[in-house]
Amino acid sequence: MSLPKIRLERCKPPDEGIWLLDPAQERHLTRALRLYEGAFVEGLLPTEAGGEKVLLRLCGTPEGMALREVGREQERADGVRLHLLIGLLKADQFDAVLRSAAELGLYAVMPVVCERSVPRVAESDVLRKASRWQKVMDEGSKVSGYVMPPIARAPVRFADIPWDSLPAARYAAILEPRATPLSEIGEIPDELAFAVGPEGDWTPEEARALCENGFAPVSLGDGVLRASTSAIVGCGWFRLMAHRRGLVNGLSQE
C-alpha cells in the first residue's frame, strides 16, 4: 500500500533525525488523513544529486507533531525530461492538465498565450498565476511520489517563446495530414519538448512557426481530442515509452 507523502523541504531541518512539521502539514497529516502517532509517512527530499525518499514515523514532541527518520534511499533518475508547452486554457481545464501531467512526471510546463486562447493573463497577475500553478503541480507530483516537482514557467505570448532554451527533440500535436503518429516517432530521447495548442488548435501561422523552429508534427490518433486531453495523452505516452525503454535497458544489462 502506498504511504502518505510529504515534502520535506517545507519542514524544519532535522535535529537528531527529527523533522518538525509546519502547521499546514501537521493539519494535513493529523486532521485530513487522520494519522496517529507511530504511523509511517514517506518524505520527498530534493537534493543536488536528484533527490531522496525518506521513511518516517509520526511522533509527538514538546514543539508539536514531528516525523522521526527511519531510513532513506536515493531516488532513481526519471526516464525522460519532458517539457510541456501548452496553449493557455480555461482555469478548470488547465488545472486538470497540470495536475495530471505532474502525476506523470512532467519536468516543466510553459503556458503559451496563443491567438485562439480564450483566457488572457494580465501582466500584474502573472506571479500569482504561476504560484498557483506550481502548487497544483506540487500536489500532483507528490501523489505519484516524484521527489522533484515540475517547474511552472511564467506564461509567454506565442511570439515570445524562447526557442533556444528548449530541448533539441521537439514534437507538436498539430491537426494536419502530414503529422506522424506518436507510435511511429522511434526512439524516445532523454529530454524533449511537447507542444499542444489551445482549444481550436494552433493557427496556420503558429503551426508553421513551430515547424520552422524544429517541432515535428505528430498526431494522437484518428479522433479529434480536446486540448486538455491531448496534453495528458501525449505526456502519458512519452512517459510510458521512456519506462519501457528503461525496462528493456535494464534487462539487457543483466
**118-154 tens-digit pLDDT:** 877 776 677 778 888 888 998 888 888 888 888 888 8
| pLDDT tops 70 at residue 254 | no
Range with lowest mean pLDDT among 52-61, 86-95, 117-126, 172-181: 117-126
Q: Where in the chain is CATH 2.40.240.20?
A: 5-74
Q: In degrees rounded to 5, what are phi and psi of residue 251?
A: -70, -35
Q: Is the pTM of this model over 0.75?
A: yes
pLDDT of residue 51: 81
| pLDDT tops 50 at residue 249 | no
Range with lowest mean pLDDT among 37-51, 83-97, 99-113, 207-221: 37-51
CA distances (Å), origin 57, targets 3, 45, 212: 11, 15, 54
pLDDT of residue 78: 56
Q: pLDDT digit string (tens) for 161-207?
A: 999 999 999 999 998 888 899 888 888 888 999 999 999 899 999 99
Q: In degrees rounded to 5, what are phi and psi of residue 25?
A: -70, -35
CA distances (Å), origin 206, targets 155, 180, 202, 211: 16, 18, 6, 9
Instruction: Give me the percent of the chain exceeding a pLDDT of 90.
Output: 42
| pLDDT tops 50 at residue 252 | no
The CATH topology of domain 81-250 is Alpha/beta knot (3.40.1280)
Spell out the residues 6+ positions from residue 88 whose beta carbon is closer than 8 angstroms to its own.
Answer: 94, 111, 112, 113, 114, 117, 119, 120, 121, 155, 198
pLDDT of residue 77: 58
Q: Where in the chain is CATH 3.40.1280.10?
A: 81-250
| Spacing of C-alpha 249 from chain mean position | 24
pLDDT of residue 243: 80
Class of domain 5-74: mainly beta
Q: Cβ(135)–Cβ(129) under 8 Å?
A: no
